[in-house]
Amino acid sequence: MNKQELTSFLHSEARSLGFEQVAIAKAEELTEEARRLETWLNKGYQGQMSYMENHFEKRIDPRKLVEGAKSVVTLMFNYFPSQKQLDPEAPKLAKYAFGEDYHDVLKSKLKTLLEKLSQKVGAINGRCFTDSAPILERDWAKRSGLGWIGKNTLLITPKKGSFFFLAELILDVEFVYDAPIKDHCGTCRRCIDACPTDAISENGYLMDGSKCISYFTIELRGALPLEMQGQFENWAFGCDICQDVCPWNRFSKSHNEPAFEPKPGLMELSKKDWFEMTEEVFKTVFQKSAVKRTKYEGLMRNIRFLED
């Protein structure tokens, strides 16, 4: 197959697996992005996320992750839900956590896609990732034209929004490469103004990760800082504020992935149910969920912090 035919095949197979969009960039060092990451780390914006400091060279150059890599394929998978939590006073979950853990769901789809490519072109040296390796996912998505990195530092795709998981294939195969697109945030600053912890810089495009509600409720170990009391706006796991207020997310449409449907009964949990949740109920409700990352003690720490 020539590069054009192979690229078309990749797009077709990815769509059949439920991926919304696919774009491809040449595998090379991300020089400008490396300088920006180094500055971000030096400011301490990673907080306790020390893993962000690891494998710096691999993080900025995919050829150090996959020998002979020629292409970085970035894929988008919609997770915008059709349902909402029914009790407006209940502790809130980020939308991506309503269903099964996306790491498991998407990794399986990526492996299938890699197998289909191998069947078509022969032996491929490649690896698949979804938020699971030192890869600058949003930068590769931007470079390949899937969208632009908005003022909230998330990838925004025209006429689709930002409620998408990103996933990657790094391959020693050449394709027809895509080009970046323009930034369309303009003068909008809704995400900046809406962030209750001032995690987004005054001019946007820079996130102090150590101030983000998602960081506090998922990544931070130990006690939550008292100075943040009353600023979480009822978020117990993750936070969607800067996405919910983004005008581009008016284009969001419900996903079609059964694995991302909420566990039965999850949307009906009342405020009382959350505060009285036992470890047994936690294990049942969040058995295959990303929420299990906090463990029972972590989630209850977050919930109690909302009440105090």
- What pLDDT does residue 180 have? 98
Beta bridge partners of 165: 77
- What pLDDT does residue 307 have? 85
CB atoms within 10 A of CB 49: 15
Q: How far is CA 60 from CA 31, 55, 70, 76, 278, in A?
A: 7, 9, 14, 21, 43
Instruction: Using DSSP, state whether 49 is helix, strand or coil.
Output: coil
What whole-number distance in Å separates Cα of residue 45 and Cα of residue 211? Answer: 8
Phi and psi at residue 142, to the nearest 5° = -65, -45
CA-nearest of 240, 226, 220 to 299 is: 220
Beta bridge partners of 22: 75
CB atoms within 10 A of CB 280: 9
What whole-number distance in Å separates Cα of residue 255 and Cα of residue 102? Answer: 13
Active centre residues (catalytic): 131
Instruction: Using DSSP, state whether 127 is helix, strand or coil.
Output: strand
Amino acid at 3: K
What whole-number distance in Å separates Cα of residue 269 and Cα of residue 98? Answer: 12
Q: Alpha helices of the chain — where are they, by DSSP H?
A: 3-16, 31-42, 56-60, 102-121, 137-143, 190-194, 213-214, 241-244, 271-275, 279-285, 295-307
pTM of the model: 0.96
Give the burial class of 60: count Cβ atoms within 10 A of its Cβ; 0-12 exposed, 13-18 middle, 19 or more buried: buried
Q: Is the dihedral of CA 248, 102, 48, 279 positive or negative?
A: positive
Q: pLDDT (tens digit, 0 to 9) for every residue of the chain, 308 residues total?
A: 899 999 999 999 999 999 999 999 999 999 999 999 999 999 999 999 999 999 999 999 999 999 999 999 999 999 999 999 999 999 999 999 999 999 999 999 999 999 999 999 999 999 999 987 899 999 999 999 999 999 999 999 999 999 999 999 999 999 999 999 999 999 999 999 999 999 999 999 999 999 999 999 999 999 999 999 999 999 999 999 999 999 999 999 999 999 999 989 999 999 999 999 999 999 999 999 999 999 999 999 999 999 86
Give the containing element (helix H, strand E) for 252.
none
Asked if residues 260 and 102 have their Cβ atoms less than 8 Å apart, the reply is yes
**Residue given tokens 């995690």 in the structure block:** 199
Over its C-alpha atoms, the chain yields an Rg (Å, rounded) of: 20
Q: How far is CA 152 from CA 1, 230, 232, 251, in A?
A: 40, 22, 17, 17
Phi and psi at residue 234, to the nearest 5° = 75, 15
